[in-house]
Chains A and B, each alone.
Chain A
Amino acid sequence: MTLLTMEFLVASGIGLTTAAAVYLLLRGRSYAVVLGLSLLGYAVNVFIFAMGRLWVNAAPILEGKAEVADPLPQALVLTAIVIGFATTGFVVELALRSRQENGTDHVDGGEPKA
């Protein structure tokens, strides 16, 4: 058995995307946070999807296949993707409004004191 399994690739992909997302979330400018949230959304969606385990050539379409993938996490993630889009939209426009109100795009609502 080798280390290079699909499971390893997916798990490490989730982990690395999460790490990049968290790093961006911790930045001080609103746009970086927006990007971080987008990335985190990808990672979390794949994570939930992976709770149904990995299946190849087993789409949950009933047409007499011997085995099919777990459809439930897929259904949950499908709505999560769309809601994730709505959240991204909301956060982008929140960032705009915040800049308009505060005159800065720093997440704390004011330019940091030097």
Chain B
Amino acid sequence: MSKILTTSFLLTIILSCSHRELRGTGDLGVVIERASGSIKIVNHTTKKIVGDVKGLGDLSHASAVFDRSQKYVYIFGRDGGLTKVDILRSKISKRVIQAGNSIGGAISQNGKFIAVSNYEPGGVNIFDSKDLKLIKTIPALAIEGQAASKVIGLVDAPNNLFVFSLYNAGEIWIFNTSKMEVIKKFKGIGLLPYDGLITPDGRYYVAGLFGEDGVVVLDLWDIEKGPRKVLTKYGKKDKRTPVYKMPHLEGWASDGESLYIPGIGDNQLHIVNKKTWKKNRSINVKSQVVFAISKPDRRSVWINFAYPKNEFIQIFDTQTKKIVKELRPGKGVLHMEFTPRGEEVWLSVRDENKIQIYDSYTYELLEEIVINNPSGIFFTNRSGKIGL
């Protein structure tokens, strides 16, 4: 009898130790700690830090994408580091150093491949998303005999494509993961494309130009037509103020009809009609825009700014077409991320070493989380969105 009791007792202990509370990942995310090579895993329901992963190298311009299960996040580091992190276990699953200097990456539509865009050596590397095995290297060699171009504006696109731009060479390339080859190179698209986005429906790839006024639009439904330059009069090329930080183009800067494009060297946000590709209007804002992010309900666009006004954000109402609010979270507002349905927005305030969480309707500051030198904030719901 005592043996039975002892065995039962031991089994109970073993089973209780092996039982872990099951949890989902739909309300999780990561925050980059840019100065310490680490990330914090956060829960945007509880507004708490739930994990911490170190050893990710130089994260000073890091970005992230999630796999289809939302269990893994791929972190793209500045130093060429590519790290697959298990966000439920808060641990590195796999890490490789794949280049000398990198700027970002994407995950293919089917989730099988990771692409990383590199400054040095200029080009794109393609990896198996399961084990980060290198599958293909694409040197951004536009002109024979010249150095490879820095690659920017890499996005995933429908039909398992990757699209990206060559900064130095002024080209747009399309890579097909089914064929594992570059299927299209568009040369002479414009001077110094500095970033690219894909619209949320995956139809248009838009590259912003730094070396001249204009943006370049490629209709992925009609690739053979090639890219075309639009908005060539939208900027103030000859009267630009110094650009202390490049604006960033992301597909979320879009609602149903319009695309919101930061001005270059001017304190304006340009609203562009996505059907005609003509400018509807320009909105005067406080300073040079870095990010313009459309709230999920599309009722407003939240805007942050470059140095020296990076302690402010402004909120543009898409119905009244006016700036309706200005907030001053603190020095170094680097990034903004809405909760999946948009009721709250998280801001990284680098110099305050904080994440601030605001009610996106009342603008009330709800919570602050101490995180060292925070930059990018990425929530798992991005896994279901083209281009994010």
Q: Are A and B a genuine interacting pair, yes or no?
A: no
Binding site for A on B (CB under 8 A): none
